[in-house]
Structure 1
Amino acid sequence: MNSDDLECFARVAHCGSISRAAMELGSDQSKVSRQLLRLEATVKSRLFHRNGRGVVLTDAGRTLLEHAKRVTRTIEEARHAIHALSEAGPAELSIGAQPTIARTLFGPLATVLHERFPHTRLRFVEGLAGQVLPWLTSGTVDLALLYLPAHAGGLKADILLQERVRLITPAGETGIGPEFAVRELGNIPLILPSAPHGMRLLAESLASRAGIALHVVMECDASISVIKRLVETGCGYSLLPLAAVAEEAALGRLGTAALVGPEVWRDVALATPRNRTFNADLWPVVNAVRQEVRDLVANGSWPDTRLRDDAV
């Protein structure tokens, strides 16, 4: 005996007809008949008298109906209670992200989450992948938005989009066009963070596959703003997504060139840890994040990206 069978039984009793109950349940008559036969076998009693006009409850059926009503009412109350809890959102919510993602997403996401969950206390935390991952594992943050690392065995990751990586150049650079071949990266002075920063590992991987050696003239583990400033003043070139330099590029302070041969994309993922139980009240938050990301990509607020569904 299960709740589905009891709900089916109660609907047939209310309708007085198996065919009419099947229509209301969005099922077919044979399936409803099988559920009733299974239920009668379980309680070892006939529940209905069948006649030409439909079905009529037996004494056993009337007794079971009272219990079925209580069970279905309790289940419905539980559904409403859980729905109300999930709609309210968690009491507190911490979200971590890497700098470029945080810069692009935290502002609009804060607005959406505050409107959607007005009673939730929000906390946003920015850090490099090497910081965000331990925060996620320890519970310092509930969710993380990050560039998916090569080895993500400790994470449950939902890839949201792919973001293109570009060569960032000083303004007015005449020797570089709108595209730049990966195999040429060894011929220009680069400003990159040190390992194990994700962008440095990506650059080294690209160089290895292209059979070249990078010419790193400066390592910078400071903020992206510092790297951009170094490029702007002519100290070298760097690798960043367009979203990180959109303002400077629009003002003509920095240039960009799309990496080609191959094109270079990074996966942006919504991550939760495998070592902790996922709280049910985070589901509406996860859905809100997914939708906001889709909206940002669709309206161009997260440039040079494609949703995972659109990737080729």
Structure 2
Amino acid sequence: MSVTNSVAHPEHGEVAWDGLLAPRLAQFAAVARHEHVTRAAQQLGVPQSTLSRAMARLEADLEVTLFARHGRTVSLTPAGRAFLASVDRALDGVRRAAEEVRADADPDSGKVAFGFLHTLGPETVPSLLREFRADHPRVRFQLVQNYGEAMLERLRAGDLDLCLTAPLPDAPDLVVRSLDEQRLRLVVPEGHRLAGRKRVRVAEAEGEWFVTLETGYGLRRITDALCEEAGFTPKVAFEGEEAETLRGLVAAGLGVALLPPPAVPRPGVVELAVTAPKAVREIGVAWLEGHPDTPPVTAFKRFLLARRGRLLPR
């Protein structure tokens, strides 16, 4: 049988070397190390005849002589020695990869890939991690900050196990659980016509220039929806990617903004409670439907769900 017919890729007619060689690499390495098929077979726990046929088939498929036979012993040919060096690197890579995935799944010291919104980074997420790590001190976290849509893309790509997002996505491939609500405030510069107030209706900001997050950000969608409900379309002066930058723009007198509370009070701005319409963003946790969890991911997911209604600092 020709090599092409036995290992051709079903679509492209190319030799599928990975599928052909992968099961035999460890067998080849064992024979090369022992220089004896019988002893290698004993180490691998396979019949000697099976291992002999596998090595002969490997040479036939590669169309290269890897071993010189000397009775019951074998030695590597120059081609065999070159092949062994590459096989050792490949097997070492497989071993390292296996160790990494096993370590990531370890219940006590595994890894959680966790995404969250920029606005939750300064205070909420550090507090959550501190509380979780009190009972799980060795669990490791890969933290990703991004806006909602980008995080959901990474969730679907398998880069994240869980993410905190707002507003809550409605997608059949995701499981989403509401965790808390965060009140938004109308942020105005000191000296603004509304700065002396404690509470304000969104409609009272009609005609003002707004500084907002870019289109596609969840908070931008909420801002647009609140203004629409109040009867106007906001005039956008500046678009940014981070809430505290927007506060800085407000402090500079460049507009007003609807934002969640800051982690640390910002000088130069006044934060007004919004009475109507109800100005909140619902924050929840999302994960892929049907995606199997490792033990550390399961533990952190349970931790988050147990904090429904008290996720955010009060």
1:156 alignment partner AA: V
The equivalent position to 1:208 in structure 2, one of 206, 228, 248, is 228
Q: 2:121 aligns to what SS in structure 1?
A: helix
Aligned to 1:265: 280
Using the TM superposition, give the Cα deviation of residue 218 of structure 1 relative to its aligned residue in structure 2, in angstroms. 1.8
Unpaired runs of 5+ residues, structure 1, are 1-85, 304-312
Check whether the contact 2:110–2:139 (CA below 8 A) recurs between aligned residues: yes
- Provide the rounded CA distance (Å) in 1 between the counterparts of 2:151 and 2:114: 10
Aligned to 1:110: 129
TM-score with structure 2 setting the length: 0.60
More helix by share: 1
Cα RMSD (Å) of the superposition? Answer: 2.5
Aligned to 2:268: 253
Check whether the contact 1:109–1:292 (CA below 8 A) recurs between aligned residues: no
Aligned to 2:216: 196
Q: 1:133 aligns to what SS in structure 2?
A: helix
Using the TM superposition, give the Cα deviation of residue 119 of structure 1 relative to its aligned residue in structure 2, in angstroms. 3.0
Describe how 1:1-312 pairs up with structure 2 within 5 A: 88-89=107-108, 91-149=110-168, 151-176=170-195, 177-220=197-240, 222-242=241-261, 245-249=262-266, 252-274=267-289, 276-279=291-294, 281-291=296-306, 297=312, 302-303=313-314
Check whether the contact 2:115–2:162 (CA below 8 A) recurs between aligned residues: yes
- Provide the rounded CA distance (Å) in 2 between the counterparts of 1:202 and 1:107: 25
CA offset digits 1:94-123 (Å, max 9, x no partner): 110001122222212222233322332222
1:226 alignment partner AA: T
Q: Give the direction of change, closer, same or farther, for the CA distance of 1:140–1:90 in structure 2 (3 Å limit).
A: farther
Using the TM superposition, give the Cα deviation of residue 230 of structure 1 relative to its aligned residue in structure 2, in angstroms. 0.9
Using the TM superposition, give the Cα deviation of residue 272 of structure 1 relative to its aligned residue in structure 2, in angstroms. 0.8
Using the TM superposition, give the Cα deviation of residue 279 of structure 1 relative to its aligned residue in structure 2, in angstroms. 4.2
2:288 alignment partner AA: P
2:112 alignment partner AA: L
Q: 1:95 aligns to what SS in structure 2?
A: strand
Check whether the contact 1:194–1:200 (CA below 8 A) recurs between aligned residues: yes
CA offset digits 1:208-251 (Å, max 9, x no partner): 3333121212222x322221111111111111111xx24125xx
1:197 alignment partner AA: Y
Identity of aligned residues (%): 20
Q: Give the direction of change, closer, same or farther, for the CA distance of 1:255–1:246 in structure 2 (3 Å limit).
A: farther
- Provide the rounded CA distance (Å) in 2 between the counterparts of 1:134 and 1:122: 19
Unpaired runs of 5+ residues, structure 2, are 1-104
CA offset digits 1:120-175 (Å, max 9, x no partner): 22221111112211111112111101113453443211101111111111134353
Using the TM superposition, give the Cα deviation of residue 291 of structure 1 relative to its aligned residue in structure 2, in angstroms. 4.4
Check whether the contact 2:202–2:277 (CA below 8 A) recurs between aligned residues: yes
1:263 alignment partner AA: K
1:267 alignment partner AA: E
- Provide the rounded CA distance (Å) in 2 between the counterparts of 1:185 and 1:152: 33
TM-score with structure 1 setting the length: 0.60
* Aligned residue pairs, count: 209
- Provide the rounded CA distance (Å) in 2 between the counterparts of 1:205 and 1:257: 19
